[in-house]
Structure 1
Amino acid sequence: MIFAELSLRLNDVGYKNWLKAGYFLLKLRDGLQGFVTNEMRSFHQKLSRNNAVLRRGQRCPNYCKPRGNQAYMPRGQADVPGPERCDAAALLNLINFCDHFSFVNQHKVREVIKSRNELMHSCEMRVSSEWLCQYERKIKDLVLELKHIPEVAVAGREISEMLSVDWSVQVPGVDSTDGLDYEMLDPTQISQVESELLRESLQELRLQIEGQGPFTEQDLTDLHRLRDFLKSNKDLEGRFQAELLEVETLEYQLKQPGDGETEEQALEEDTDDVPQKKMKIKN
């Protein structure tokens, strides 16, 4: 039955809070994209005016490469062509690290980044109502800081409006609508928010494991938990077939013999339990 499994998942208050927090992040992303696009265009024009070579329309001969956090973007998004293709994390990191955005209260930006990381690293995909209230306050503080930007102001209103909407899904023939005196969110919209948030969580975890070299038991546990969650919900399993295949491929790579380890040793250690020692991803 359509949305029946989603309806059951929303009975978990912690999971519902997790989705709401993800929705706030998506709205903030929508509000920031146009702002960042305009500011970076202005930033690049200023650089061009101050550089004689670029001012003459010539290509820079030095082929400069960024160092350290001069790349600005978090891992996995350094090659994204523009702000309209970035997620909230990329936009917030750009605002935080690029000196051009020094006019923005950086403390408010970093507070949202901190909460965003806590949200995406919540391996159980649940947050408390208290955490959600604190997160909402941080989001609103940043929105207030950028209230002069129309798109951000709209995002702030949409976030506030969403707090008064019931995040439940009614299944025809199962749920009753008698006595309801509050607006309910379109289940298709909830499903879209859920898909975006789960996909971002999966990508975050995959990049963390692939990029950090030696990984920990907790990394594997988180990966298995997210995989099992997707596979235990048939609607999500069907929607995330490609991502689940990537997870299975990554798991296979993780089980390959590490440096200085023979295949026989690897086979002896290949049990159903999570490995107790650190391993390295083999290219």
Structure 2
Amino acid sequence: MQSELSIRLNDGGYKNWIKAGFCLQKIRDCLIGFVISEMEKFHQFLLHNNSLLRREICKNSCRPQGTKFQGACPLCEVWKREILKHHTIQNNVIYWGNCSPPLWPKQAWEVAKVYMPHGQANTRGPGKCDVAALLNLIISCDRFEFVERQKVIEVASSDWQVQLMETDGVDALKFTDEIDTGEILSAELELLREWIQELCFTMEEQEALHVQHINSLNTFKEFLKQNKELENVLHKEVQQLYAVEKRWKHGVGTVKGQDGVEWNLEENEGLSTMDGKTGEDDSCRRTCAPGLKHKNEEQE
């Protein structure tokens, strides 16, 4: 793994992505204790100020789907209203599917996930989610009104490109001397798992994928071919991604170009045929790993 890592780190763009991700993971680690403490206090505040939340339990095993939470039992309906009262962004899209409402009376973390972007359903604590989720929580929940919100928004919306020294971009040994190789490998795997998960959610939720999503997926496949050891370590996640891709191709199979025009992939048209097409907007950024270059970009 270490020899392959050194080769990957000799690519300036990929190394930049790893460094930026490593910094974000450190921010996440510093926020964990603070977020846990504040959400526990917030949870106790909700229970103390509404006796209905303390007296009952969910009897319907309510399970929301995505942004929809219909047919909630009386208790979960009260919880919904209380949670929304403390949302700082009115009429914002709420990913109710992130959480398990029957656990709201007992677990502060299940309440916290309502204030986060999609993809948090399986996270069991702040240490298991990315920093973007925690920053969104701080921005969206008025429990954190004492925090300078605009500063948090600036951090959350940053592109996080790390400035590289001229020699740093081609010297993997310099990076591995500064930071333990095991730490770098761990950070790299976490970043790739997050990226795969985000692309899976995008393919499952969006009716039409942007061309850049497809190019990014194809580039990732080529990346894995060149890094077999990584492919073996990420086997479970990669198989999940391919299964989602297969379902998408046999389901919607719609691609959107930069001009907004959509088209369906024909039955005999593979995703690799997207290589010659371009298109990207803000919705692509999280699912298009900046450290992985598309083969067309390498030729420019």
In the superposition, the TM-score normalised over structure 2's length comes to 0.63
Residue 255 to residue 59, structure 1, CA distance change in 2 (3 Å): closer
Q: Offset of 1:271 from its aligned partner?
A: 7.4
Do the aligned residues in 2 keep the contact of 1:22 with 1:197 (CA within 8 Å)?
A: yes
Pick the structure with greater CA Rg.
1
Post-superposition Cα deviations, 1:30-88, rounded to whole Å, max 9, x if no partner, equal 11111111101111111112112345x44474322477445211111045333343321
Do the aligned residues in 2 keep the contact of 1:74 with 1:93 (CA within 8 Å)?
A: yes
CA distance in 2 between counterparts of 1:33 and 1:16 reads 26
1:140 corresponding residue in structure 2: none
- The AA in structure 2 aligned to 1:212 is Q
2:66 corresponding residue in structure 1: none
1:193 corresponding residue in structure 2: 187
Select the residue among 72, 77, 80 that pairs with 2:123: 80
Residue 80 to residue 257, structure 1, CA distance change in 2 (3 Å): closer
1:31 matched to 2:1? The reply is no
Post-superposition Cα deviations, 1:179-210, rounded to whole Å, max 9, x if no partner, equal xxxx5422111111111111111212221222
Do the aligned residues in 2 keep the contact of 1:255 with 1:266 (CA within 8 Å)?
A: no
2:286 corresponding residue in structure 1: none
Post-superposition Cα deviations, 1:134-189, rounded to whole Å, max 9, x if no partner, equal xxxxxxxxxxxxxxxxxxxxxxxxxxxxxxx9313xxxxxxxxxxxxxx5422111
- The AA in structure 1 aligned to 2:216 is D
1:7 matched to 2:6? The reply is yes
Select the residue among 227, 236, 239 that pairs with 1:245: 239
- The AA in structure 1 aligned to 2:215 is T
Residue 20 to residue 128, structure 1, CA distance change in 2 (3 Å): closer
Select the residue among 63, 80, 83 that pairs with 2:76: 63
- Give the number of aligned pairs: 215
Do the aligned residues in 2 keep the contact of 1:69 with 1:97 (CA within 8 Å)?
A: no
User: Can you give the 5+ residue segments of structure 2 that lack an aligned partner in the other structure?
Assistant: 59-73, 85-91, 95-113, 165-172, 254-264, 278-300
RMSD, aligned CA: 3.0
- The AA in structure 2 aligned to 1:83 is P
- The AA in structure 1 aligned to 2:205 is G
Aligned residue runs from structure 1 range 196-235, under 5 A: 196-235=190-229
Select the residue among 128, 139, 148 that pairs with 1:105: 148
Do the aligned residues in 2 keep the contact of 1:256 with 1:266 (CA within 8 Å)?
A: no
Q: Offset of 1:218 from its aligned partner?
A: 1.6
1:273 matched to 2:273? The reply is yes
CA distance in 1 between counterparts of 2:27 and 2:271 reads 44
CA distance in 2 between counterparts of 1:102 and 1:252 reads 44
CA distance in 1 between counterparts of 2:246 and 2:231 reads 19
Do the aligned residues in 2 keep the contact of 1:257 with 1:266 (CA within 8 Å)?
A: no
SS of residue paired to 2:52: helix
CA distance in 1 between counterparts of 2:145 and 2:27 reads 19
Do the aligned residues in 2 keep the contact of 1:34 with 1:84 (CA within 8 Å)?
A: no
Do the aligned residues in 1 keep the contact of 2:203 with 2:245 (CA within 8 Å)?
A: no
Q: Offset of 1:270 from its aligned partner?
A: 4.5
Do the aligned residues in 2 keep the contact of 1:95 with 1:101 (CA within 8 Å)?
A: yes
User: Can you give the 5+ residue segments of structure 1 that lack an aligned partner in the other structure?
Assistant: 120-126, 131-164, 169-182, 260-264, 277-283
- The AA in structure 2 aligned to 1:274 is M
Select the residue among 163, 180, 189 that pairs with 1:129: 163
Residue 201 to residue 238, structure 1, CA distance change in 2 (3 Å): same
